[in-house]
Amino acid sequence: MNNSQEIIALEKQYVLQTYKRPDLVWERGEGSWLYDKEGRQYLDAGAGIAVTALGHHHEAVIGAIRQGAEGLIHTSNLYHTAPQALLAHDLCESSFADRVFFCNSGTEANEGAIKFARKYARAKGHTDKTGIVAFTGSFHGRTMGALAVTATAKYRIPFEPLIGGVTFAEFNNLDSARAAITTQTCAVIIEPVQGEGGVTPAEPEFLAGLRARCDEVGALLIFDEVQCGLGRTGKLWAYENYGVTPDIMTLAKPLAGGLPMGAVLLTQAVADTLEVGDHGSTFAAGPLVCTVARAVFSQINQPAFLAEVKHKGDYLAQKLQTLTTESPLLAGLRGKGLMWGLLSEIPAAEIVAEARNHGLIILVAGEKVIRLLPPLTITQVELDLLAERLRETLAAVG
Ligand X SMILES: Cc1ncc(COP(=O)(O)O)c(C=O)c1O
Q: Provide the binding-site residues for ligand X, judged by CB under 6 A.
A: 49, 105-107, 110, 139-141, 191, 195-196, 224, 226-227, 252
Q: What is the length of the chain?
A: 398
Question: Rounded to the nearest 5 degrees, what angle is found at the Cα of 45, between the Cα atoms of 65 and 223?
Answer: 75
Residue (226 or 351) nearer to ligand X, CB? 226
C-alpha to C-alpha distance for 190 and 138, rounded to whole angstroms? 7
Residue whose Cβ sits closest to ligand X: 106
Cβ pair 186, 220 in contact under 8 A: yes
- Burial class from Cβ neighbours inside 10 Å (0-12, 13-18, 19+) for residue 356 reads middle
Cβ-based neighbour number of residue 165 at 10 Å:
17
Smallest gap from residue 228 Cβ to ligand X (A): 7
Residue (109 or 290) nearer to ligand X, CB? 109
Residue (31 or 286) nearer to ligand X, CB? 286
Please report, in angstroms and rounded to a whole number, the separation of the first and last CA atoms in the chain: 38
Beta strands in 225-344 (DSSP E): 248-251, 262-266, 330-336, 339-344
Give 238's DSSP letter.
G
Q: Is 64 helix (H, G, I), strand (E, B) or coil?
A: helix
Smallest gap from residue 388 Cβ to ligand X (A): 28
C-alpha to C-alpha distance for 167 and 116, rounded to whole angstroms? 18
Residue (34 or 252) nearer to ligand X, CB? 252
Residue (329 or 352) nearer to ligand X, CB? 352
Smallest gap from residue 56 Cβ to ligand X (A): 19
Q: Which residues pair with 34 in a beta bridge?
A: 29, 42
Residue (142 or 319) nearer to ligand X, CB? 142
Smallest gap from residue 229 Cβ to ligand X (A): 9
Amino acid at 183: T
Smallest gap from residue 50 Cβ to ligand X (A): 7
Smallest gap from residue 51 Cβ to ligand X (A): 9
